[in-house]
Amino acid sequence: MRLPYQVFIAFRYLRSKKKHKGVSVNTAISICGVAVGVMALLVVLSVMSGFQQDLQKKILGANAHIVVVGNRGMIPDYQKYAEKLQGEKDVVSFAPFVLGQVMVSSGSRVHGVFIRGIDPADEAKTTEILSHIKDGDISRLTKDSDMPGLILGRELAGNLGLLIGDTVNIVSPLGEIGPMGMLPKVKKFRVIAIFEIGMFEYDSNLVLTDMKTTQEFFGMKDAITGIELRLRDIYKATAVRKDLQGKLGTQVYVKDWMQMNKNLFSALKLEKFAMFIILVLIVLVASFNIISNLIMNVIEKSREIAILKAMGARNGGIMAVFMLQGLFIGLIGTVIGLTGGYLLGRLLDKYQFIKLPPDVYYLSHLPVRMEMMDFVVVCTSAVIISFLATIYPAWQAARLNPVEPLRYE
């Protein structure tokens, strides 16, 4: 099978004659420009995907995939809903919880937090928060003692100056009405464990205790705030949520993890898209190199273009020669950039040679997650931009009058 003459000539034009070194140098610069643009795009998008995955992991480490809450702030008949959830094939496990806002006081230090009452056995099957315990023993949470146990985040413990075994006061503004008006409710707890998820919002604003203790503290009797659900596939959360909402009725409200963190993940997606647009400018700059390279090539090869036209080559064939030349530059640069971006991403992920201060970012290194769709979109965009850059120089070559270059031959 013989190659069309346009392909053969386009390959030849990637190299210049020995007496004209400029075009070949410009070709190399154009290829490097495309390669650098593609590599930068792939590495940045992979790092941003890594940050998003790490954030998602930390959010799901403290929260369930789906939460069922009562429309009036509580669910009085928990068992009725538990029976309905037992037969759901997409639900791996579920756990009841009680949630309320309180103040934690230790000496002269006070901090507002969310207190979550849990059943440790069910909670361990449903969320990963208990796996982030760094100090202490959670088995003491349900043991009978003179004082109920409390699990704090590391940031909160540091702010209040608390250690394992210290006692704190939990204060609820919703207490009993006395002669002087509403009296806050106060209860003493003992710190039995400290967790660290890696997100400041949770490590400084969440405390855990036994569910029965929380029910008594808030005067809820046997009612609960909601039910946490763990799914087999977290990305089916939206579909499962809609299905459960129909089955459980209008007395409860079903929320999934994407819905509860919609603003945060939307901001991350927008930031990733903005970075893609900004870094595509590198490829656009490289496309200008391709344009200048092809224009110089058209000027240098004007005599050869005239000969081709005199031999019967049509304008479309001449255009194809230079469009293929620019396309080859884009393809070679894209392949080099793809290889470099993949290798650099692997090196960043394996050797973690870019370190981050963990006390600021809660990360010791740049997280990397390479997604196939990012690679496809970046490489396709680079090839299309490179191809579009060839249109004007190729059109100029096709318009060349063959008489002028050959007049004095």
The answer to whether 365 and 355 have CB atoms below 8 angstroms apart is yes
State the amino acid at position 195 in one-letter form: F
Residue 153: which of 58, 240, 292 has the closest Cα?
58
CA-CA distance, 79 to 399, in Å (whole number)?
81
Residue 89: which of 231, 204, 210, 217 has the closest Cα?
231
- Average pLDDT of the chain, as a whole number: 88
CA-CA distance, 409 to 404, in Å (whole number)?
10
**Pairing between strand 167-178 and 181-195?**
antiparallel
**Pairing between strand 167-178 and 91-106?**
antiparallel
What pLDDT does 161 receive? 92
Read off the pLDDT of each residue in 251-260 and give the average, rounded to a whole number. 92
The answer to whether 34 and 382 have CB atoms below 8 angstroms apart is yes
Interhelix angle 78-86/237-248, rounded to 10 degrees, is: 130
* Encoded tokens for 234: 């977290």
In the chain, helix, strand, coil percent, each to 5? Answer: 55, 20, 20
What pLDDT does 408 receive? 56
CB atoms within 10 A of CB 15: 10
State the amino acid at position 105 in one-letter form: S
CA-CA distance, 142 to 120, in Å (whole number)?
8
The answer to whether 99 and 263 have CB atoms below 8 angstroms apart is no
Biggest CA-to-CA distance, the chain: 114
Residues constituting the chain: 409
Q: What SS3 state is found at 183?
A: strand
Kindly report the pTM of this predicted structure.
0.80
| pLDDT tier, 35 (very low <50, low <70, confident <90, very high otherwise) | very high
Backbone angles phi, psi at 224, to 5 degrees: -130, 165
CA 160, 166, 170: angle at the middle one, nearest 5?
A: 65
Read off the pLDDT of each residue in 357-378 and give the average, rounded to a whole number. 86
Q: Within 13 Å, how many C-alpha atoms sit on residue 217's CB side?
A: 27
What pLDDT does 198 receive? 83
What pLDDT does 28 receive? 86
Q: What SS3 state is found at 331?
A: helix
Residue 203: which of 359, 375, 81 has the closest Cα?
359
Per-residue pLDDT tens digits for 123-176: 999 999 999 999 998 887 876 667 899 999 999 999 999 999 999 999 987 766
CB atoms within 10 A of CB 229: 25
CA-CA distance, 33 to 36, in Å (whole number)?
5
Per-residue pLDDT tens digits for 205-220: 999 999 999 999 998 8
CA-CA distance, 55 to 274, in Å (whole number)?
19
Query: Of 7-16, 306-315, 352-361, 398-407, which gets the smallest average pLDDT?
Result: 398-407
Sign, CA torsion 317/318/320/324? positive
| Per-residue pLDDT at 15 exceeds 80 | no
